[in-house]
Amino acid sequence: MSESVSDPLRYYAGNACATRNLLWCCAQAGVANFVFSSSAAVYGMPASGVADELAPTVPINPYGASKLMGEWMLRDHAAASGLRFAVLRYFNVAGSDVRGRIGPVTRNATLLTKVACEVATGKRKHLAIYGTDFATPDGTGVRDYVHVDDLARAHFDALTYLRGGGESVVLNCGYGRGYSVRDVLRAVERANGGPIPVVDAPRRAGDVPLLIADATKIRRVLGWVPRYDDIDVIIGSALAWEHRIDARTPRPTSGRVLEGAALPRPDSPHAMVV
């Protein structure tokens, strides 16, 4: 998200222009049902910190704006063409496949859970906590972390719903529960069996204090039943994946991490770029 503040055109190209082109291709191919990966970032900073799908969409960074543009194009194209859609507004996607088959290999990752696991496995020196003076219980940002396997299941359920004749729908994908940065770090330390180095840092551009899903609608409309609504399971799977890719990536004897070492290619079936 903060990268979208410094490089907005990249995000408008990837999320707005590319979505327009994809919708055009879908129209040519006669696609009937469309599941769109949107983001909680479309809400910006909801007054209470908890957003249901009717909350105002007031993004505060170009990432959220570009995702909202995608939603608008989809809505307008659907009205004109008869396409039916499910917009899934992801909250904070985290964790890795619980069976260890797939996970993120993003270089220069910025997501809290990935960065913290890289610190725990020695790939980074420390984790910077971006902002300790937010109006939240412990002063750090609070988010709704959803396990990637539950999110994948939501896509399957959404397509099943549309194929069964369901109306177009907008759905939050989260658990409806918030964890602070420090809560997440405590879970990383539990999974790691010891503390990880942390430093306090200034707030990051484009970050909101609190963002939690009202997640009642997705359960009602899709019958979605999450299986991994547990911060220790989420972090445990993320850390296990980090160890797994380390095992595939020989390190130099000095202990220095090799830049560009042999991680799974981002387009390999074992890689997931987030």
- In angstroms, the Cα distances linking 185 to 140, 211, 226, 232 are 11, 18, 23, 11
- Range 222-239 burial, b when 16+ CB lie within 10 A, else e: bebebebbebebbbbbbb
* Spatial CA neighbour of 105 closest among 113, 97, 114: 114
Binding mask 32-51 for ligand UPG (x = CB under 6 A): -------xxx----------
| 171 binds ligand UPG, rule: CB under 6 A | no
Q: Tell me, by CB under 6 A, how many residues bind ligand UPG.
A: 22
State the nearest-atom distance from the C-beta of 70 to ligand UPG, in Å: 12
Backbone angles phi and psi of 39, in degrees to 5: -145, 150
Name which position in 88, 105, 129, 162 contacts ligand UPG (CB under 6 A).
129
Answer for which of 77, 143, 147, 153 binds ligand UPG (CB under 6 A) is 143
Q: With binding defined as CB under 6 A, does residue 112 bind ligand UPG? A: yes
Token code pair at residue 273: 């770029």
Site residues for ligand UPG, 178-217, by CB under 6 A, read: 181, 204, 207, 211
In whole angstroms, what is the distance from residue 140 CA to residue 133 CA? 7
Treating both helix axes as pointing N-terminal to C-terminal, what angle do 231-248 and 112-120 enclose, rounded to 10 degrees?
Answer: 60
Q: Between residues 7 and 167, which has the closer beta carbon with respect to ligand UPG? A: 7
Select the residue whose beta carbon is closest to ligand UPG and give its number.
141
The minimum distance between CB 111 and ligand UPG, in angstroms, equals: 4
11, 43, 63, 179: the catalytic one is 63
Our answer to whether residue 63 is catalytic in this structure is yes
Q: Is residue 12 helix, strand or coil? A: helix
Among 6, 21, 110, 160, binds ligand UPG (CB under 6 A): 110
Residue count of the chain, please give it: 274
Q: Where in the sequence numbering do the catalytic residues fall? A: 63
Q: Which residues are near ligand UPG by CB under 6 A?
A: 1, 39-41, 90-92, 110-112, 115, 127-131, 141, 143, 181, 204, 207, 211
